[in-house]
A and B are shown apart, each in its own frame.
Chain A
Amino acid sequence: MKAAKKITKGTILRNREIAPGIFTMDIKSRWMGKKSRAGQFVNIKAADDTTDPLLRIPLGIHKIRGEEISLLYKVVGAGTKLLSLRSPGGSLDMLGPLGKGFDVSPVIRRKKAVAVLIAGGHGIAPLFALAEELTNKMRKVEFFIGACTREEITCVEELKKIGAGVRVSTDDGSRGERGRVTEMVMEYLSGDGKDAEHGTIYACGPMPMIRAVQDVSKATGIPAQVTRDEYMACGIGACRGCAVETTEGVKLACTDGPVFNAAILKWDKETVEK
């Protein structure tokens, strides 16, 4: 059966800048709150009744709580800039929930399984909802957050509050360990994190980080579910814009993903250089 999705209007409750250029928007929407799963996304209109911006913006669902969802987004262009200016009380046109979310069953099935979550920058967006789902079900969550510098690190206190173990790294060493987040994960997995060998890695972040996570998964034998973020137009599998090369042929980030088994991802020259 196909998953239910529709266009619906939610009410903006809060829209706040939590770090320079990074915002969270809380939205009241019974439909999205009920139907969304961690790892899915919504395709939203930054503004109504305009052709510029023309397309919807795909945003990962950051929190799913009752009849509310939250979105975490970075201002990168005209659409997200407009979105950042929206005020509470206004309505938000959303299409969703879209895509396949994270598969939590490997962690749910085994009581002792550890979930290793790896976020790069605002890639933390969909992983928060996953962490919350898993800690609610009394599973152990080890959360690794990496960014270029300390200003881009978000959600640490909130994650600790829901019971996740949190470790931070920055490229410039301004917060947490200095270096790549995947180096920190490797260190953990070969030391304190020995018990993670029966767990699952979940990761969301920029392309080079996802590739490094693929390497970690290969080296340790721990399966990894990772997200692929590609330019997309429709979000429902019609435009074929968000192509992802895999060992199983061309797949779409919007309907086959955005979450993929890291083992099947292939990288052509263009994507490596990005």
Chain B
Amino acid sequence: MIDLKVRIGKTIFKNPVWAASGTFGNGEEFTDFLKITEIGAVVTKTVTRSPRRGNPVPRVVETPSGLLNSIGLENKGVEWFKKEQMPFLKELGVGTIVSIAGETPEEFVECAGKLTGKNRPDAIEINLSCPNVFHKGARRRLFAQDPKITEKITKAVKKKIKCPVITKLTPNVTDIGEIARAAENGGADAISLVNTYFGMAVDAEEMRPVLGNVTGGVSGPAIKPMALAAVWSAYNEVSIPIIGIGGIMTGLDAAEFILAGASAIQVGTANFIDPGRCAGVLKELKEYLNRKKIKRIRDLVGKLKV
């Protein structure tokens, strides 16, 4: 029996394979394809204080081994989420991490404040890194490009709620270590990285951008090497757990991220191609651990031989 448990703050998750925000809804769409309670956690689609309509279509387009998207955080707001989406997850009993965002630091705090009480999540992921929304008052385009504001929002959310806080970072920075430290200084219980890379697709025949929003974020296998390097850099800077994300399609991909320093991983784009993939990744990761005779998942974290 392999010990797969992962501890983030005071919360223990049953295993390190989680579904990434924005790729899994609240899980309901996936019940035909896997037993959701098998996976470590569902990170739900980002919610904001008020409903958002999202960006104009086209919102998604394929790029070589990748997916370029600009959904624009379309959601019906945190109140709706709590009433309509949260009960499903709570009843199921799966690890539930709610992703939140806002246009200002105050909106993050307000949104987090709504997620207390009976149906509270097991952790909150603060999305400081969506490339497709405008962050008001940020010195840079994204909150997670600015260490000061990353620390400030993390601290403010942390103060507002009791459950663990995971700060989700963008890879679109010159020094990921600096931002990772800022989140740690803000009191984050963990950091998750990477969100998508800025990207665009051009239709030369029509002389137009393909996406309605012109630019978007790239995910999928195309970004895996960069994401691995970002996780490795962050691992060498902070002592809080890291959640690795970026083009994970298989259990071996998951093992690579864990070796590079991730304590848990999130499967994202792969859910769009094979809605049962999270369960597949978990199974393949267990096979890998068996083959390597590793008894506890935490013994693999950061064990890259360099």
- Shortest CB distance B49–A (Å): 18
**A231 and B32: CB pair below 8 A?**
no
Say yes or no: A270-B212 contact (C-beta < 8 A), given A5-B32, A236-B29: yes
B130 contacts partner chain A, Cβ-Cβ < 8 Å: no
Stretch in B94-102, B144-152, B230-238, B265-273 with 4+ CB within 8 Å of A? B265-273
Pick from B30, B71, B249, B275: contact of A241, CB under 8 Å: B71
**A52 and B65: CB pair below 8 A?**
yes
Pick from A4, A95, A268: contact of B56, CB under 8 Å: A268
B134 contacts partner chain A, Cβ-Cβ < 8 Å: no
- Shortest CB distance B237–A (Å): 30
| Residues from chain B with Cβ under 8 Å of A139 in the complex | none
**Number of residues on chain A facing chain B (CB within 8 A):** 33
| Residues from chain A with Cβ under 8 Å of B167 in the complex | none
| Residues from chain B with Cβ under 8 Å of A79 in the complex | 62
**B56 and A232: CB pair below 8 A?**
no
| A contacts with B: majority SS | loop
B304 contacts partner chain A, Cβ-Cβ < 8 Å: no
Stretch in A22-30, A53-61, A83-91 with 4+ CB within 8 Å of B? A53-61
- Considering the complex, which residues of chain A in the window 231-261 have a beta carbon less than 8 Å from any beta carbon of chain B? 231-234, 236-244, 250, 255
**20 A-B pairs (CB sep. < 8 Å):** A5-B32, A7-B276, A51-B65, A51-B220, A54-B220, A79-B62, A231-B57, A231-B61, A232-B60, A234-B23, A234-B272, A236-B30, A238-B275, A239-B69, A240-B22, A242-B59, A243-B59, A250-B53, A250-B54, A270-B57
- Considering the complex, which residues of chain A in the window 49-79 have a beta carbon less than 8 Å from any beta carbon of chain B? 51-56, 79
| Residues from chain B with Cβ under 8 Å of A238 in the complex | 23-25, 29-30, 271-272, 275
Contact with A along B188-213 (1 / 0, CB 8 A): 00000000000000000000000010
- Shortest CB distance B248–A (Å): 12
Listed in ascending order, the chain B residues whose CB lies under 8 Å from chain A are 22-25, 29-30, 32-33, 45, 53-54, 56-62, 64-67, 69, 71, 74, 212, 220-222, 249, 269, 271-276
| Residues from chain A with Cβ under 8 Å of B65 in the complex | 51-52, 54
- Considering the complex, which residues of chain A in the window 202-244 have a beta carbon less than 8 Å from any beta carbon of chain B? 230-234, 236-244
| B contacts with A: majority SS | loop
A238 to B64 Cα, complex, angstroms: 22
Pick from B24, B30, B57, B64: contact of A242, CB under 8 Å: B57
**A55 and B57: CB pair below 8 A?**
no
A112 contacts partner chain B, Cβ-Cβ < 8 Å: no
Listed in ascending order, the chain A residues whose CB lies under 8 Å from chain B are 2, 4-7, 45, 51-56, 79, 95, 230-234, 236-244, 250, 255, 268, 270-271
**A51 and B22: CB pair below 8 A?**
no
**B74 and A240: CB pair below 8 A?**
yes
A172 to B45 Cα, complex, angstroms: 48
Please give 6 more A-B residue pairs, beta carbons under 8 A apart, in addition to A51-B65, A54-B221, A244-B57. Answer: A5-B32, A238-B23, A241-B59, A242-B60, A250-B53, A270-B57
